Each structure stands twice: as structure tokens, then as C-alpha cells.
Amino acid sequence: MNKKTRQLQCRQKGRSLTKVLIVLVVLIVCFALFGPFFVPLVGDPHKTEAFPFDGGGPLNMGYDYLGRPVAAQLLIGGRELLIAAFLTAVLSQVTGMTCGLIMAVLRKRTKILRFLLDMMLIIPMSLSTLVIYNHAGSSLYATIPIATFFTLPFTSRYYAGNAEPLLRTGFYEQAMVAGDSVPLALIREIIPVLFRPILTDLGMSMISAVYLMSTVSFLGIANNNNSFLWPTMVMQNLSGLALNPYATLMPIFAIVWLTIPLNILIDQFSNRRRK
Amino acid sequence: MVNNNIIEISELLIQNEKQVIINNLSLTVERGEKIALVGPSGCGKTTLSLALLGFVTPGLNLVQGGVKVFGQQILAANQKINHRQKRLLRQRIGRLDQDPALSLTPTKPIGMLLHELAVGKREEQEQSLRRAFEWLQLPLDKTFLKRYPNELSGGQRRRVALAMILLRKPELILLDEPTAGLDDRTRDMTLVLLNELVDRLQATLIVITHCPEAARQLSNKILRLEKGSIMSRDKMERRQEDEPVVSVNKTGAITKSMPRNYDNCNYILHVNELSAGAPNLRRPVVEQLSFDLCPGERMAITGMSGAGKSTVARTLAGLWPRLGGDVFLEKEKMAPSLHQWPQSMRGTIGFVPQDPATSFNPVITLGTSMGRVLKRRSHTGVAGKNLKKQTCDELKRLIQIMDLPADWEGRLPNHFSGGQLQRLAIIRSLIGGAKCLILDEITSGLDEATRDCLLELLATLDTPVPMLIITHDPVVVAQLCNKSIDLNEYVVS
């Protein structure tokens, strides 16, 4: 088999894998977003219908620590986590990109900003998130600005690093010479070139947000009404792992399904760009 | 039996989907030989030089054949070469790219780059460095070593890149267009240095060039490539008159600038005692520069590498702040920096940089780029709409004159050749309302045929917009310019 045939086969395998990953990501997103509409078909997620950790039940997934159907909870448990993670990712990108571009343009004049962002890096993210979350009245969506704030040092440096070389390019200079203001030139010339890095970091931010929010819920800091259900299910049903493993393992599987295919897809995307 | 062949290429065939780049090429180079590869753009010179390093450019396929260097396989079709073997072979090869700045890591100071390559203990390294710097006439003080590559002139970068090769002591040297972008005097000095480098290292040399002078002076055999095949092999015998007349010391007669007599001219651009320098250097490079440009005039700014030609171009375009003097455009005084110019003045001085590939956004089609220029012009007040129509008509006319493909609007910049992009860059500046155009080394990096085509098109371009042409090429000055100024007179020593 010559090199060309091997390369073609590798490319075809890569494309097939990408398609599979896209399908997986779309499936889990649809499951999380539209699952609540199918809840009436499997039962009431808030009603005790059987003994704790009993088997059987809707889709044979059994019941949780309060005798509520696991399948129904699984269907409603992902939407808020997905939306919150997505909003966090978008907000994180917008603020990070804005900071990063300011740092790239103004450079030495942003010493104080860079210093403050560097100071944030030494604060342990998960611990601080838990403390602030607790003091913020344990609001579910308080995790969005908290997570955005703590990822700012990373995203701003990422975009500053990506944008700085582009500010020395001919096309950016041409825009300035032609009369575009700095913000306009950044939006029209620099951001389109950063499209793939933005997409890559958006995906990574979303995964980080899912993990951060799951940590907050999993550690049980939140009460039942103010937490994301999938990670809370893991924490609450851990004691009944031997009796009904589905109550613990299914939400873990759902969180993994939400993050890992997306992670690999982002890698595929980045690798294809490098080639 | 010792194999005296440094390079053995056997029936090398490299192609892409559309065409053959290297066409069943076979070549043997013995130790100590100096070979020049000449040929038009696209004939496969750079592809061949990369093949000697074991690389096949992405997008191309190695279909058959192979390359051996120092008796070991570095590239072969249908065979995977061990990475360690390739790395060890590459350590014995020194390569100088067309743009030496590419071999210098932009985020490291010069001193650090050089120390990374010097071998031996600290004292030996210092000695090797001192010898290299003395030979290359570079200052060996701490201030210079702390500079970053972008703080050096083009000529200094080139010499630092040569120093890096010298420190590595390669057995095979590959030079890719070593004299591109250089004025005659600097070219001759560079050729002297390169000859000395090869002789010192007793290395084998492969030089890719479309400069006949470089081919003649550096090589003892010329291979002419065309469409991936060797068309002819000529032996060179160095003659007495081929020896370069300029010595390594940078002294030489200063050409006087043309006398200025613009008393009766309604000048477009008036420059009075301009001082210009790079933003991160404290002292200006050029001082007391004065000249005027009248409508339709084309003035060349010439000078040695490092004289400050590009610095003057960028300063006049407003990209770098002016350190002193005044600039008037149509009798209106220009502020020192672009950011201080009022909106009405932006775009009035068009700037076409040396590298056309980076002057267009790589992810935006040319149609969109030009569309933005038209939109900017339409936002000019009452006459906006009429102006937009006029500008569209002018755009169509210029596209036709500049001989560009009919489907140019939907293409991305990487679908155009260097020459085409230069022409598009000129058109963009003209339709953008430029009252004066600055062209910075627009023919460097182009082969002779493409350069001549571009010059012919520019010469026939009927526009009253005066042009300031930064160049070291006497052909450009002769064909395009009706006056010139030598920047060597104004360089700060």
C-alpha cells in the first residue's frame, strides 16, 4: 500500500469519526433539551412511586433514594446544566476575547489588568466558586458569572496570544491606513481569522463549565431545588449503588456523554486545521 | 570505499492533483560542489530544496523516487524514514531562507538565539560567537545582543542568520534566494560573505536563485529547472571580472540625489526635514529628508539594506509615528501618527507593503475586501452615491488593465499568485481614494518575468496619483520612475 493510499484511508477514517462524534453530540444535546417533553411518558420525577433504590420501573432504570423514577429524572436533569454551561461558555468567550484584544492592542498599558488577572490565577477555582456560590444565596445561575469570572485569566491570555501576531499583519495595517477605527478593524479583520480558535475555546469553555457546575452540585453545597439534577443524582444515590446502580451510573454516563465526544470533536477540528 | 556524493536524488517525482512539480528528477552532488538551481517561478526549486531536508510540502505527494544525503535515505516513496535519522541528517544541513527573519524566533533576543546553537563550553561559545560577529561585521555589545529580531534591519537579520549557520558548522548549505530584496551593493557584500562562509566551512552548497549574478558568483555549476526537470547543466568558471568589487566594509560612494526643482509645481506631497525611526528604537534612522511629489510623478527611494527605506515608507503612511519634520498632503499638514489623522485624511496615503500575501485578510474573499473599500468611499457625504458608482467603474477599469482573472471576486487570497496580489493591492489603494501611493519593494520576491509584467502594467497605468517607490532594483527605477532619491545621504550614523 503506498503512502497516498494510506493518507487517503486515514483521512476517510478521520471523516467517519468526525461524523460519529457529531451525531453523538447532537443526540445528547437533543436529549438534554427536549427530554422534559417526554417526561409524561415515563412518570413523575418528583413523586415517590416505589421503595428507595427499587428495581424495574420506567425503562428498567429503577428508582432513586426517595423512590422516584430514575428515567424521568434523567430526562429533566440535563437541560439546565446544558443551558447554564452554554451561557457560561458564550459569556466567557465574549469577556475573555474583549479583555484579550484590549491586552493585545494596548500591550504595555495594560500592566495593571494583566497583574490582576494573574492574581486571579492563584485563587483555587473550585473552592472560590463554592464559597461565592454559597454567599450568593445558592442561586443556580449564579454559577454562570462565577465561572466566567474565574476563566477570564485563561481566555483573555488565550485571545491576547492569538491576536498579537495578527496585529502586525499587512491586512490589519491596511484597514488602519484605510480609515477603520481600532474596534472596527478588530471586528472585521481579526475576529474572522480567529474563528477556529474561538470555536475550539468555546467547546473547551463549555466542558469546563459543565465540570465546574457539576462539582458545585455534586459536593451537595446546593439544596435540592437549587442544583443541577444530573450531578446531584450522583451524589444523592451513591449510597444505593449496590441496590440500583442505574441511579448513580446513568447520570454519570450522561455527563460523560455530554463532555467527551465534544472534547474529541474539538481535537479533531483543531488537528484538521493544523494539517 | 568512501562515498563522495553528498546528495543523491533518484527519479524523484512529486506532484499535486493538478500538475507535476518535480518530474522524475535525478541528480548527484559531490562533496565540495557549489550548485545553483535557476528557473522561473513554479518550476520546483523550493520543492526540491525542501526534499533535500526530507520534507514534502503539504498538498503535494511523493509518488516515486527518493533522496539520500550523506549516503543515508532522508526521503523515499513508499518508505517511512525514521524521525531520529532525519533529525540527525538535518543537523548537518544549514538552510538560509529567502526571508532570514523566518529563521529567527521573534520572541527571543539575538544573543539567546545564537547561544542556543553554539557548541562547547561557555568560553568556546563566546569565542565562536566573537569570531562569527567579527567576520560578519556585527556589533558584539550587550545592547545589540538584547535586541529582538524585529528590532534589526533586514541586512542585520540576514547576517545574524548567517552567524547561526556558521555556529552550527553544517556540511551542506542550502540557500533559498539569498539576494532577494537587496540593493546591488548589499547583494555584492552578501555574496562575498556567503562565498567566505562556504569556504570556511568547506561545505557543499546548493543555492536557489533567479538572480544571474548570484548564480554566477556562488556556484561552479548551474542547473536550469523548468517544469520540474533539469533542462541544462552549465559549468561555471569564475573569471577575474566576476569578483565583486565591493569590500565587506560598508563604505562606498554615495550617489547624489536628483536635484529638486519644484517651484512651479502644485505638489501633492511635501516632506520637510523628516526624521524617521522604528517605534521601539530611541534614535531616528533617517534625518533631514526633504522632497516633493507632483501629480503623476513617480519617485524612487533607493539605498542600502538598513538605510531606512521601509522606515520612511511606514512613517509617511502614518503606521510609525514621525519623530521630526513636517509632511503636507495637498498643503494640509499631516499629524505625526495615523491615529491622530482626521477621518477625512485616512486612506489618502495608500501603502502597498512588500509582502502581498499578508496584505489581504486570508479568510475574506477579494470581492468582500474590495467591497469594504467601496463602502468606505460611499460614506463621504453628499457625493457618496455618485462617488461609489465612479469608484466601481474605476475598479472594473483597473481590473481589466491589470489583467486579473474574471472570477477574482469569489476567490480567497491564497488562490492568487504573488504578482496578482500585488496588482490587487495597488488597485485597492487607488480606488480607496489615495492621493499618493507608497509602494514598498513590490517587486522583491518576484521572478524576472512576473516583475517585468508588473512594471509594464504600472508603466501604462494612466493615473495622476503620484507614487513613491521604495526599491533597490535598478530595473524598477529605470522603467518606472522619473526621479530618485538615495537614502544613504540621510542615514544617521
In angstroms, the CA B95 to CA B70 distance is 16
The secondary structure of chain A, three-state, reads: CCHHHHHHHHHHHHHHHHHHHHHHHHHHHHHHHHHHHHHHHHCCCCCCCCCCCCCCCHHHCCECCCCCEHHHHHHHCCHHHHHHHHHHHHHHHHHHHHHHHHHHHHHHHHHHHHHHHHHHHCCCHHHHHHHHHHHCCCCHHHHHHHHHHHHHHHHHHHHHHHHHHHCCCHHHHHHHHHCCCHHHHHHHHHHHHCHHHHHHHHHHHHHHHHHHHHHHHHCCCCCHHHCCHHHHHHHHHHHHCCCCCHHHHHHHHHHHHHHHHHHHHHHHHHHHHHC
Any B CB within 8 A of A177 CB: yes
Instruction: For B121-132, write each residue's pLDDT tens digit.
Output: 777 777 777 777
Q: How far is CA A147 from CA A86, A128, A213, B96, in A?
A: 11, 10, 8, 48
Chain A: closest CA distance from residue B456 (Å): 25
Instruction: For B40-79, write each residue's pLDDT tens digit.
Output: 767 788 788 888 888 888 778 888 899 999 988 899 988 8
Structure confidence at residue B406 (pLDDT):
81
B428 secondary structure, DSSP code: H
Of B62, B360, B364, the CB nearest to A3: B62
Q: Which CATH class is domain B269-489?
A: alpha beta
Any B CB within 8 A of A170 CB: yes
Q: Residue B312 in contact with residue B289, Cβ under 8 Å?
A: yes
* Mean pLDDT for the stretch of residues A133-147: 73
As beta bridge partners, residue A211 has none
Instruction: For A87-112, write each residue's pLDDT tens digit.
Output: 989 999 999 999 999 999 998 788 88
Instruction: For A105-137, write each residue's pLDDT tens digit.
Output: 998 788 888 888 888 877 777 777 777 777 766
List the Cα angle A192/A28/A251 in 5-degree steps: 130
Q: How many CB pairs under 8 A join A and B?
A: 61
Q: Residue B26 in contact with residue B5, Cβ under 8 Å?
A: no
Give chain A's domain count.
1
Any A CB within 8 A of B360 CB: yes
pTM over 0.80: no
Of B58, B346, B353, the CB nearest to A179: B346
Q: Which three cell numbers stand for residue B17?
A: 492533483
Residue A50 lies in a domain: no
Does the interface predicted TM-score (ipTM) exceed 0.85?
no
Of B61, B347, B358, the CB nearest to A179: B347
CATH at A170? 1.10.3720.10
In angstroms, the CA B450 to CA B344 distance is 36
Any A CB within 8 A of B457 CB: no
Q: Which three cell numbers stand for residue B12?
A: 524523484
Q: Residue B490 in contact with residue B323, Cβ under 8 Å?
A: no
Q: Do B359 and A170 touch (CB under 8 A)?
A: yes
Instruction: For B241-295, write each residue's pLDDT tens digit.
Output: 443 333 222 222 223 333 334 444 578 889 988 888 877 766 788 888 888 888 8
CA–centroid distance for A123 within its chain: 21
In angstroms, the CA B317 to CA B468 distance is 11
Closest chain A residue to B431 measured between Cα atoms?
A178
Any B CB within 8 A of A188 CB: yes
The domain containing residue A102 runs over which residues?
A: 24-31+61-274
Q: Which residues, at least 6 apart from A166, have a Cβ–Cβ distance to it below 8 Å?
A: A172, A189, A190, A193, A194
Structure confidence at residue B236 (pLDDT):
56
* Lowest mean pLDDT segment, chosen from B9-18, B252-261, B406-415: B252-261
In angstroms, the CA B51 to CA B130 distance is 34
- Residue spans per domain, chain B: 5-231, 269-489
Structure confidence at residue B140 (pLDDT):
74
pLDDT exceeds 70 at position B380: no
Calculate the dihedral angle through the C-alpha atoms of B128, B131, B136, B138, rounding to the nearest 10 degrees. Answer: 90
Q: Residue B165 in contact with residue B94, Cβ under 8 Å?
A: yes
Nearest to A271, CA basis, from A26, A86, A18: A18
* Mean pLDDT for the stretch of residues A56-85: 90
CATH superfamily, region B5-231: P-loop containing nucleotide triphosphate hydrolases (3.40.50.300)
Structure confidence at residue B330 (pLDDT):
87
* Mean pLDDT for the stretch of residues A176-205: 89
As beta bridge partners, residue B301 has B470, B485
The owner of cell 528604537 is: B281
